[in-house]
Structures are given as C-alpha cells and as structure tokens.
Amino acid sequence: MHYYRRFLLLILVMGIAESSAAALSVFACEPEWASLTRALGGDRVAVVSATTAHQDPHRIEARPSLIAKVRRADLLVCSGAELEIGWLPMLQRQAGNRKVMPGQAGYFAAADHIGRLGIPDRIDRSMGDVHASGNPHVHLDPRRLKTIATALGERLASLDSSNAAHYRERLASFILRWDEATMRWQERAQPLRGKRLVVHHQDWEYLFDWLGIVRAGSLEPKPGLPASSGHLAKLKKALLAEPPLAIIHTHYQSPKAARRLSQLTGIPAVELPYTVGGAENVVDLFTLFDETLQRLLALVP
Ligand SMILES: [Zn+2]
C-alpha cells in the first residue's frame, strides 16, 4: 500500500514536471541576457548562461560543453556587435544548429536593436583591438535596455507562438516596473551629471551616455591592450591636473592597474558589478542598477 501511494505520488510529480516543462531552450552569452530572458520568459524558458560575471566576455574558451548547449538551443541571446566574435562564431559552426545561426530567428543580438555608440569612422590596426561595429557593452543604459527587452519579448512570442500571450503579459509587467525604476534611478543619479571617471576598458560608455558622466581616461592605452607603466605615468600627469571621482573597473578585470594608478594619484579605485552576479546582492537587472548607482554616489563629496 505504502509503495503504491509513493508510486502514485511519483507519477503525479512527473506529470507536473512534464506540464510545466519549458517550451524554449535559451543559450545566453552573458549573465545580463540570461537574467532578462528569465524575466520575460518565466517558466516557459530554460536558460543557460555561457559566462558568469567573473569571466571576460571578450575572451571565452569554446569548450565542448558550450558547443553541446548551443546544439540544444532554440534561441541564442547575446550582446552582438562583435563582443563575442572571438568565440561565438566557432560555437555556432561546431554546434551545427541551423536555427541559431546569424540571420535566423533563433539568434538574437541585443546590439542590433539599439543605436550604438562608438562606431569608428575608420579602422586600422594601430587602433588596437577595437570594436569595429561600435561599442557592444549595451546593457548599462536602461533606456536602451527597455528597447532590447521589447524586441526580445516579441522574439520569444514569435518563436513560441502558443505561449505568445504569456510572453507579452510578462513583457508588459517588466516594462511597467522598469520605467518606474528608471525614473527613480535618474532622479537619484543627478549628482553624477558632469562627473569624471577613469575606466579600465570602455565597458561603461552607455552608462555614461545615460547619466552624463565624462570618461577622463582609460587604463588600456588602446582597447584590449593591457595598461603599461608608461601609459599610467602619462595618465597620472593628466589626472592630477584635473582629478576625477574614481578609477572604475569591473568584476571580471584584474584590479592591479586600477590599484597601481590609485597609489600613484590618491584617486580611489572602485569595482562596479557590471553585470548580474558581479556583486553578492546583484541578483537581477534591477539590483544591478541599484548597486552601481549606490557605489558611484558614495564617491560624490
Ligand atoms: Zn569591450
């Protein structure tokens, strides 16, 4: 009798698991897109992220486990604009999954849906490892993120049309909360307008564009190149003439160069979360902006 009841219970649990099984298998390139897809898809999406906040999304090893995940995916959600050019095309080729190739409905590149910053007039090797399609670090401007969310919500609805109403409902409720939060952030961030910050890499252009923050210099002498002591010495001279609020870097970058410049100048070095998981309390896109503003506002005298 006892066994029989357990057996019935097992059948019941399996039945529930079956009926709530996700309709779409999603491979996100970065944690911010995994988080957005979960917010918009709820239980109809099963999302894996190729990278964590600890990893540099420019440089990821195309491991067999990632290839297997791309092979199983119905949808890839990535930054695009060549951020993943060093690893994603290889994963796509090796996986042999036609539906997630560029140009297919199963490939969603966030940068394709917004006006990009930093598109170079011309490109030559002397410019370093430049982002030739413009700056791909597009998630740190909530206005652009809203546009991306809308496009992604519609993509989910068109790929899984039997659940279209579900995705549109979740999108509407996300946008409602997002608009309200954006207003709150903008108000709170007023003291940052016109303030200057030194960056490690140009990960922050969209955040600065949104808040009116000025980039006072980069630790990288050219995009993608490590900071040299000659470059730091030059930077020190310029910064002492007009000191910025801080030197900022992400969780995925080594803090060494920022700390070195901080020692040379007395300007504080500050780590910002950059993406979901980049600090203990940053569990979604809302807390990402909450924490980023909190850390920046703490620098304003
Ligand atoms: Zn970059």
What is the distance in A from the centroid of ligand 1 to the CA of 134? 10
**What is the 253 CA–ligand 1 centroid distance (Å)?**
11
Q: What is the CATH class of 189-297?
A: alpha beta
**Per-position DSSP letters for 110-168, written without gaps between them:** GGGGSPPS---SS--GGG-S--TTS---GGG-HHHHHHHHHHHHHHHHHHTGGGHHHHH
CA of 140 to the centre of ligand 1 (A): 13
Reported residue count of the chain is 301
- Per-residue pLDDT at 10: 54
**Ranges of each domain in the chain:** 16-184, 189-297
Ligand 1 centre to CA of 84 (Å) is 10
Query: Ligand 1 mean position to 131 CA, how many Å?
Result: 7
Q: How far does residue 31's CA lie from ligand 1's centre (Å)?
A: 15
How many other C-beta atoms can be found within 10 angstroms of the C-beta atom of residue 268? Answer: 14
Dist. CA 135 → ligand 1 center (Å): 7
Cα(1) to centroid of ligand 1, in Å? 63
129 CA to middle of ligand 1, Å?
9
Locate 288 and state its tokens.
């990402």
Could you tell me the distance, in angstroms and rounded to a whole number, from the CA of residue 226 to the centre of ligand 1? 13
CA of 11 to the centre of ligand 1 (A): 49
How far, in Å, is the centroid of ligand 1 from the Cα of 10? 49
List, for residues 221-239, the tens digit of each pLDDT value: 988 889 999 999 999 999 9
State in Å: Cα 81 to ligand 1 middle: 10
**Which parts of the chain have pLDDT scores under 50?**
1, 15-19
16-184 against 189-297: fold identical: yes
Distance 150 CA to ligand 1 centre (A): 24
Distance 189 CA to ligand 1 centre (A): 24
Residue 98 Cα, ligand 1 centroid: separation in angstroms? 28
- 11 token code pair: 């059948």
Rg of the chain on CA atoms, in Å = 22
How close is the Cα of 207 to the center of ligand 1, in Å?
A: 14
Q: Give distance in angstroms: CA of 86 to centre of ligand 1.
A: 12
Of the chain, the end-to-end C-alpha distance in Å amounts to 72
Q: Ligand 1 centroid vs 206 CA: distance in angstroms? A: 12
Distances (CA, A) of 281 to 148, 226, 277: 24, 30, 8
pLDDT of residue 124: 65
**How far does residue 115's CA lie from ligand 1's centre (Å)?**
16
**Token pair for 291:** 């924490």
pLDDT of 3: 56
Task: Report the pLDDT value the prediction gives residue 196, as an integer from 0 to 100.
Answer: 98
> Residue 5's pLDDT is what?
60
H helix or E strand, kind and range, residue 249:
strand 246-250
> Quick one: fold of 16-184?
Rossmann fold (3.40.50)
